[in-house]
Structure 1
Amino acid sequence: MPARLVETHPWREPLATAAGLSRREGALALLAGAGDPDAHGGRWSFVACEPDQTFVGRVDDEALFQRLRDPAYAGGGVVGLMSYDAGARPATGERGGGWPDLMLARYPALLAFDHRERRVQAVGRGIDAEAARLQVRRAAEWLEAATSVAPPPPPCDRAVEEGSGAAYEAAVADVIARIGAGELFQANIARAWTGTLKPGRDPFDVFLRLSAERGAAYGAFWRLGRRALASNSPELFLTFDGDSGRIETRPIKGTRARDPDPVRDAALAAELIASAKDLAENLMIVDLMRNDVAQAARPGSVQVQRLFELESHPTVHHLVSTVSAQAADGVGPAEVMEAAFPPGSITGAPKHQAMKVIAGHEPPRGPWCGSLFGSGLGEEARLTASVLIRTAAFEQTALGWGWRALAGAGIVADSDPRAERLETEAKFRALREALVG
């Protein structure tokens, strides 16, 4: 029978530990943001490398989530990435793009950092107790590999926009006209930037720069083969607790840029809280997520627990709401993901039509606004999935590490194209500074 063992060690900084493993295959860092360890997403960080099983590739529409049900991945310690385009395909049709639908890796050894108790757990899994013990030892050895995490200089010379600000404003205007014609209520339209890291520089350098001063609740670095991801996402897609059956999702809608002047910054936060447009935008997505979650939930169990909460991050203020439910009998992590993917906060309403409109204005998104998820990393029965906003995707070529990053805004009937363009620039600011300074 499969075994799981845990060994407790003195506290080490998870970012320093991740830095020591960052060039190894399958290097993984899921880091809780700085601040209150009891805040949402704030207690646990996870670090690992060298998975024993991986899957990278396309899966057909009917089997999109079948890998999540595969017994080979059912034992916990699993990390996965679902691309936005894989989930949007039923609405958009086949669109190509170079990023795989699904990436999965199983980690028999990992380190779990408990920020509340200030201790580290070396976790090992195996076919029996001895195999699990060997994995615990392997994880414990990683603690000795910790290295300096001083932020390196910017790894990239420039960020080049795909298109232009004027083209983005024209796309926003088109969506506003479609909303006025009754085609949809809201769509999230994005801009993209690309670049190439300098010779000898690595995607982990970007993650170090993101994490050093402005780590987000769902900060993540993942390297698998010739692809890597650096994410500074503040947004939870969903959690699912297999023991209690609780489902929770926390959509973000409504944004204001931060201001270095405290008085002006407070005024911007107050403006966001009072904005009828932003409140309506948030409420539309809350309703959409209620509908999505209900497909996997017991009838009558879906609740809006918090509405329009202000969350302040280093570069932006956001409005965040929380929707919860109890899973229906027989529902597991795969069914919960399938019911709600792609996240409604980055598609629009109605979701199917919004994804069609998005496809008319954007090339394939790849991992951006897909989801990075972990299953059984800390608690065996728990799935946690983030929305991949504030994220750069990297691919290694003969020219070096190329990257692509996007930022979007939710377009509604009374949107102003220029204001929406400025919102995307505020959202891209932290990544731009991490990439090019």
Structure 2
Amino acid sequence: MAGLSLALIERDWIDPLHVAAGLDDVEGRLILLSDGGPNARWSYVAAEPTRVERVPRAAPGPFDRIGALLGERAVTPPGAPPFTGGVVGLASYDLDAPEATLGGDDQDWPGLTLARHDAVLAFDHHHRRVIAAGRGEDPERAAHAADRALRWLAGARTPAPAPAPLADAFTSERPAQAYRDAVADVVRRIAAGEIFQANIARAWTGMLAESAEPFDLFVRLAGASPAPYAAFWELGDHVLASNSPESFLSVRDGRITARPIKGTRPRGSTPQEDAALKAELLASAKDRAENLMIVDLMRNDLSRVCTPGSVTAPDLFRLETFANVHHLVSTVQGRLAPDMGSAEVMSATFPPGSITGAPKHQAMQVIACHEAARGPWCGSLFLAGFDGSLEASVLIRTVALRRAADGWRFRTLAGAGIVADSDPDAELAETDAKIASIRHALMDHPAPWTL
């Protein structure tokens, strides 16, 4: 497939959420919804993948399948959308864990799901335009793929109002005291020199109301708290609904960038309280130390796939504000080594350091002592382009849903980074702040919003 042709067809702006709503009966509906901010200009909608592969957990070299699905590289011309087709992947956090070592109900998600898309709609939020991109072995086939993407625009419709609440219950899998005890145990392990930091999570489960669908949840999350890396993907009886603010990795033009999040405060109820919480987060020695540990971890991971001496951290502790929380975000960059591609990058860095701890593998062992399987949560959703580009998110603020005989079952988690001076009550409160938008979307009667 050397020299895949590319066809691009431009159309007037249509809201990507409306286009996705019109694809409810189309196989493999996928929407990657950006908030249109400076780091997330583009959204994408796709369906009808040409090939889908599901890789079980603990399979050797799972990310090697990316290259096999992509084939040989193709060129993306200047001015084209960043993603003009390729492989969309969903890597569960527990990708490398043997089935026998996992506990709890992670809804039987595969370790890795890969889908090849030769047709995609790209939505440019900055210039208010839609571009249908098609790839093919020759110009005629590329044009045919782009025309197929254009047909998805015809059914665009405003999402119907969803019933409220969407779920009958939002139940913690374990009591709050169990989480406090887990935090205290991790603090003891840190004091004993076993690890420096570990991200410990809580899980909540429930069922959607009989009249509700997973897309209703995604529409609420997108409307109430826009995020730069939101995603909705239907995979048969499994559905992912994510409202993530966090980038994992970005590879473009030979440069790799990671933007780990560590450090969180809730939004204030008044402007004065909100400003005080921002100032508190920026001044917090604990949160800055927690963030810096993950920066060092990511520098180590990136150095495995970058040219020696090229990995730097040019931006530390930048405060970014979202609908429900404030975060500290740092940037780590490097120059990708010539023989490294998407498969090697994912293999070297997965799972994301911001949701494991330091040292990574020891922290993951501690996490396994206190948590059941995570499934998609804190894994990654990624786009591997035909041109060698890679864009991957961290699947926080994410709900995994599975169709059962009695309806749609959901599971979601929220975690906190535990360090030497962590207070169990404060870390519990942080998980409550992080899960608030999902709890609200499922259980409350949200005010109307404009899509």
- TM over 0.5, shorter chain: yes
Residue aligned with 2:22, SS: helix
Q: Structure 1 pair 412/151, CA: closer, same or farther in 2 (3 Å)?
A: farther
Map of 2:30 onto structure 1: 28
Residue aligned with 2:391, SS: strand
The answer as to whether partners of 2:260 and 2:354 remain within 8 angstroms in 1 is yes
Map of 1:64 onto structure 2: 62
Distance 1:403 1:71 in 2: 30
Superposed displacement of residue 381, structure 1: 3.2
Superposed displacement of residue 59, structure 1: 5.4
Superposed displacement of residue 138, structure 1: 1.5
Matches within 5 A, 1:162-177: 162-177=173-188
Query: Which of 94, 103, 119 is matched with 2:113 structurally?
Result: 103
Could you list the per-position Cα deviations for residues 193-225 of structure 1 after superposition, in whole angstroms to 9, with x for gaps in the alignment? Answer: 001111242111100000012110000000011
Could you list the per-position Cα deviations for residues 152-175 of structure 1 after superposition, in whole angstroms to 9, with x for gaps in the alignment? Answer: 233211111100111100110111
Superposed displacement of residue 61, structure 1: 4.4
Q: Structure 1 pair 54/263, CA: closer, same or farther in 2 (3 Å)?
A: same
The answer as to whether partners of 1:302 and 1:326 remain within 8 angstroms in 2 is yes
Could you list the per-position Cα deviations for residues 24-56 of structure 1 after superposition, in whole angstroms to 9, with x for gaps in the alignment? Answer: 22100001115x3xx112x10000111110012
Map of 1:363 onto structure 2: 372
Query: Given residue 154 of structure 1, which amino acid in structure 2 is its aligned partner?
Result: P
Q: Is it true that 1:148 corresponds to 2:158 in the alignment? A: yes
Map of 1:116 onto structure 2: 126
The answer as to whether partners of 2:118 and 2:134 remain within 8 angstroms in 1 is yes
The answer as to whether partners of 1:73 and 1:106 remain within 8 angstroms in 2 is no
Q: Is it true that 1:399 corresponds to 2:406 in the alignment? A: yes
Distance 2:411 2:314 in 1: 35
Query: Which of 44, 47, 51 is matched with 1:46 structurally?
Result: 44
TM-score calculated relative to the size of structure 1 = 0.94
Query: Which of 230, 243, 247 is matched with 1:219 structurally?
Result: 230
Could you list the per-position Cα deviations for residues 375-421 of structure 1 after superposition, in whole angstroms to 9, with x for gaps in the alignment? Answer: 228xx332100000000001111111111000000000000000000
Superposed displacement of residue 74, structure 1: 5.8
The answer as to whether partners of 2:317 and 2:329 remain within 8 angstroms in 1 is yes
Distance 2:417 2:314 in 1: 23
Distance 1:308 1:150 in 2: 40
Map of 1:299 onto structure 2: 308
Could you list the per-position Cα deviations for residues 123-163 of structure 1 after superposition, in whole angstroms to 9, with x for gaps in the alignment? Answer: 11223222222221121111121111365233211111100
Q: Structure 1 pair 173/151, CA: closer, same or farther in 2 (3 Å)?
A: farther
Deviates more, 1:123-132 or 1:171-180: 123-132
The answer as to whether partners of 1:151 and 1:212 remain within 8 angstroms in 2 is no
Matches within 5 A, 1:315-330: 315-330=324-339
Q: Is it true that 1:373 corresponds to 2:382 in the alignment? A: yes
Query: Given residue 136 of structure 1, which amino acid in structure 2 is its aligned partner?
Result: A
The answer as to whether partners of 2:342 and 2:388 remain within 8 angstroms in 1 is no
Map of 1:387 onto structure 2: 394
Could you list the per-position Cα deviations for residues 290-319 of structure 1 after superposition, in whole angstroms to 9, with x for gaps in the alignment? Answer: 000000000000010100000000000000
TM-score calculated relative to the size of structure 2 = 0.91
Residue aligned with 1:187, SS: strand
Distance 2:26 2:167 in 1: 22
Matches within 5 A, 1:226-375: 226-241=237-252, 244-375=253-384
Superposed displacement of residue 425, structure 1: 0.5
Deviates more, 1:92-101 or 1:412-421: 92-101
Distance 2:26 2:72 in 1: 24
Query: Given residue 248 of structure 1, which amino acid in structure 2 is its aligned partner?
Result: T
The answer as to whether partners of 2:58 and 2:111 remain within 8 angstroms in 1 is no
Residue aligned with 1:21, SS: coil
Query: Stretches of 4+ moved more than 6 A in 1?
Result: none
Q: Is it true that 1:420 corresponds to 2:430 in the alignment? A: no
Map of 2:219 onto structure 1: 208
Q: Structure 1 pair 401/74, CA: closer, same or farther in 2 (3 Å)?
A: farther
Distance 1:151 1:44 in 2: 26
The answer as to whether partners of 2:70 and 2:87 remain within 8 angstroms in 1 is no
Superposed displacement of residue 22, structure 1: 3.3
The answer as to whether partners of 1:68 and 1:74 remain within 8 angstroms in 2 is no
Q: Structure 1 pair 393/111, CA: closer, same or farther in 2 (3 Å)?
A: same
The alignment-based identity, stated in percent, is 55
Superposed displacement of residue 73, structure 1: 5.8
Residue aligned with 1:253, SS: strand
Distance 2:54 2:359 in 1: 31
Q: Structure 1 pair 214/160, CA: closer, same or farther in 2 (3 Å)?
A: same
Distance 2:207 2:223 in 1: 22
Query: Which of 4, 13, 16 is matched with 2:18 structurally?
Result: 16
Considering only aligned residues, what root-mean-square deviation do their CA atoms show, in Å? Answer: 1.7
Superposed displacement of residue 80, structure 1: 0.5
The answer as to whether partners of 1:20 and 1:145 remain within 8 angstroms in 2 is yes
Deviates more, 1:251-260 or 1:63-72: 63-72
Residue aligned with 1:430, SS: helix
Could you list the per-position Cα deviations for residues 232-291 of structure 1 after superposition, in whole angstroms to 9, with x for gaps in the alignment? Answer: 0000000111xx210000000000010121100100010000001000000000000000
The answer as to whether partners of 1:22 and 1:28 remain within 8 angstroms in 2 is no
- Residues paired across the two proteins, number: 427
Query: Given residue 220 of structure 1, which amino acid in structure 2 is its aligned partner?
Result: A
Map of 1:157 onto structure 2: 168
Distance 2:70 2:325 in 1: 41
Q: Structure 1 pair 262/297, CA: closer, same or farther in 2 (3 Å)?
A: same
Superposed displacement of residue 93, structure 1: 7.8
Matches within 5 A, 1:190-209: 190-209=201-220
Residue aligned with 2:183, SS: helix
Distance 1:71 1:24 in 2: 22
